[in-house]
Structure 1
Amino acid sequence: MKIMEKVWGSLGILEPIEIEEERGKSDDFEGRGKKNNLVNLSNAQKPLKVIVVEPFSFDDAQHIADHLKNRKPVVINFENTDAEVAKRMIDFISGSTYALSGTIQKIGNHIFFCAPVNVDIAYSGREEANDKLFLSWNK
């Protein structure tokens, strides 16, 4: 097995870890770290699932906050949402996002991207004029 361990180690798919063993009082040995080898055949992480929501009532705001609480990014499309309901929802979701240390970004006309703390947003196409048209209450 030593040859395979060397091959896997050179490919970066074998990672040594240290595990501390706990021993009972009846043992004459103290707890010591042992070097074990783990084989990690896939270094790729599980793909991140993005939730897309088209809310119609204020009740949908809590579902969006629940997705953010579960560390899932959410795209919200307010195109078919009443303007007053959309305003209230943005206020609620902005507060929820802030409380969860996330970020919210307008990415299009009536479309917002809410990212939990484990997701970074890199967006450079933001236009202030469009923000003021949709977020007229946010002057």
Structure 2
Amino acid sequence: MSNILNTALELMGFLDTNEEDGFENETKSKIDNKKTISLLPKTSQPIIVHITPKAFDDVMDLVKRLQNKTIVTINLALVDVALSNRIIDFANGAVYALDGGVLKLADNVYLLAGQGVTLQERDTSNFPWNKEPI
């Protein structure tokens, strides 16, 4: 009966028996030889795919690749202006939904990336091909 009373008093905080029990917290110094599995994703080289769409239906391939975390460059030089605007609008919406980014590389050439890829523009005015000839 005293065990029940001591347990109840200990649970209410009136009795502290941790020091009186004589138990010591033992830590294992040996590591178990069990197979461990890493929960961190494996880092791999990013995949970059170039797409030159000829019709609006080609945009679905672009979106599927973005969903699979592939970086995509798209060249819109072979399509007319109206279709080019439609394709880039759709691609921008997909990138926005995937929390990614778009970078214009040149006229009608864009780089699209999904989440986890940081896109930075550099100042290209000092590159030799952008300087005025002497």
TM-score by length of 2: 0.59
Match of 1:82 in 2: 80
Gaps of 5+ in 1: 1-32, 39-43, 128-139
**Rg larger in structure:** 2
Report the count of equivalent residues.
91
Match runs of 1:22-101 below 5 Å: 34=32, 45-101=43-99
What is the Cα-based RMSD across aligned positions, in Å? 2.7
Match of 1:110 in 2: 108
One-letter amino acid matched to 1:88: R
Change (3 A) 1:84 1:103: same
Q: What is the percent sequence identity of the aligned residues?
A: 24
- SS for the counterpart of 2:86 is helix
Gaps of 5+ in 2: 1-30, 37-41, 126-134
After TM superposition, give the deviation of residue 49 of structure 1 in Å.
1.1
How many angstroms apart in 2 are the aligned matches of 1:37 and 1:92? Answer: 46
One-letter amino acid matched to 2:54: F
- SS for the counterpart of 2:103 is strand
Match of 1:121 in 2: 119
Task: Say whether the 8 Å CA contact 1:104–1:112 is kept in structure 2.
Answer: yes
After TM superposition, give the deviation of residue 46 of structure 1 in Å.
2.5
TM-score by length of 1: 0.57
